[in-house]
Amino acid sequence: MSEFIPVNKPSLEGNEARYLKECIDSGWISSEGPFVGRLEREFAAAADRKWGIAVCNGSAALDAAVAALHLSPGDEVILPAFTIISCAAAIVRAGAVPVLVDSDPVTWNMRVDQIEQKLTPRSKAIMAVHIYGLPVDIQSVQSIAQRRGLAVIEDAAEALGAKCRNQSCGSFGDISTFSFYSNKLVTTGEGGMILCDDDELAARCRSLRNLCFQPGRRFVHEELGWNMRMSNLQAAVGVAQLERLGKSVERKQRIGSLYMELLEDVKGIRLPLPHTTDADNTYWVFGVMLENSIPFDAQTAMERLARCGIGTRPFFWPMHEQPVLKRMGFFAGETYPVAENLARRGFYLPSGLGISDEQVRRSAAALRDVLS
């Protein structure tokens, strides 16, 4: 068998080693080091935002972002059923209630046209999640939010480097979050970022990520926060990665375009939407949906691809079918058919920045064989 192709291989070909050596030589390896502030400033500037607050991972960014909004117990936040559990978990941890909408079967993003029918007097925010590199219809989300007096939490973790109407994803929310996990276009191994323009929100996020220490009375706490700090070592890698963001987006789109070319005539699968009227797909990951004509599900397809030496990853499992959330009493009797189908018949192929064109061709050929 040929060498196994992992679902993700990062690209670390810039100044990462040089900047890490700077940290080690200077002794500044903690969150107090200068690369943290530099990453915050440069990342915020890249998204045309005023403030960046670096944290230890993308889930922590969501936790702090939701907590910063001062939600009260029972307040409701609208979000897609089809997303990573970090989104719902941040809402639940804040004492709020997650309220779901289904996904669009073509874009895989949240059904924005279902949001208003889910609003109640308890609604306080909409969490808009860009899925798999294709931006959600964020301007429509903003329009609903402004009309109904709601905050917008923009989870842009999967759309880093993407633009919507020539405006960077991560610039639309009242507060926006990113992940720098190893499969993202900018990685720090683990890590995340919160972006906003509001001075008070930024100050609150900085406090929440740092145990809510108080100026002048460091170890006297009026509120419980978290230790969510990013280290200088992580930030050094992030600065080097950010320097190549434009090239990374180009590479991702090349990977996606090559898969589209190689798989466009394959029957029985649905490929990602290349673009909407407002945005191009950056193909953060390259997802595939099995049509009902294929007599097996995504799990079987992934098992067969693994035997061919091809790494894959399943699509998200819907929030209303998460055992932990169901045990907590959420979503009783609710169904979201598109999200359910995406979870059962969707998976993604190797598409990390470190993949070669030849590995893309091998992966596409293996999928053809499995489907035949």
Q: Tell me what pLDDT residue 216 has.
A: 86
Q: Tell me what pLDDT residue 2 has.
A: 76
Q: Are residues 211 and 264 in the same domain?
A: no
Q: Give a yes or no: residue 7 inside a domain.
A: no
> How far, CA to CA in Å, does 130 sit from each of 80, 121, 159, 244?
10, 26, 6, 22
Residues in the chain, pLDDT under 50: none
Q: Are residues 297 and 348 in the same domain?
A: yes
Give pLDDT tens digits for 279-301.
999 999 999 999 999 999 999 99
Q: Give a yes or no: residue 2 inside a domain.
A: no
Domain end call among 207, 225, 242: 242
For residue 229, the domain's CATH number is: 3.40.640.10
Domain end call among 242, 266, 296: 242
Q: Are residues 224 and 289 in the same domain?
A: no
Q: Are residues 70 and 182 in the same domain?
A: yes
Q: Tell me what pLDDT residue 1 has.
A: 56
Q: Give a yes or no: residue 113 inside a domain.
A: yes
* DSSP of 70-104: TPPTT-EEEEESSS-HHHHHHHHHTT-EEEEE-B-
Write out the residue range of the structural domain in which residue 266 sits: 245-371
Q: What is this structure's pTM? A: 0.96
Q: Is 166 left (phi over 0), alpha (psi -120 to 50) or beta?
A: left
Mention every residue, 6+ apart, whose C-beta is less than 8 A from residue 336: 81, 82, 100, 101, 102, 103, 318, 320
Q: Give a yes or no: residue 5 inside a domain.
A: no
Q: How far apart are CA 304 and CA 326, in angstroms?
A: 32
Q: Are residues 158 and 24 in the same domain?
A: yes
112-123 burial, b for 16+ CB within 10 Å, e for fewer? Answer: bebbeeeeeeeb
Q: Are residues 233 and 322 in the same domain?
A: no
Q: Give a yes or no: residue 355 inside a domain.
A: yes
Domain end call among 220, 242, 264: 242
Q: Tell me what pLDDT residue 226 has.
A: 97
For residue 325, the domain's CATH number is: 3.90.1150.10
Q: Are residues 222 and 293 in the same domain?
A: no
Q: Are residues 266 and 337 in the same domain?
A: yes
Domain count, the chain: 2
Q: Give a yes or no: residue 305 inside a domain.
A: yes
Q: Are residues 197 and 250 in the same domain?
A: no
Q: Are residues 360 and 264 in the same domain?
A: yes
Q: Are residues 208 and 301 in the same domain?
A: no
Q: Are residues 201 and 165 in the same domain?
A: yes
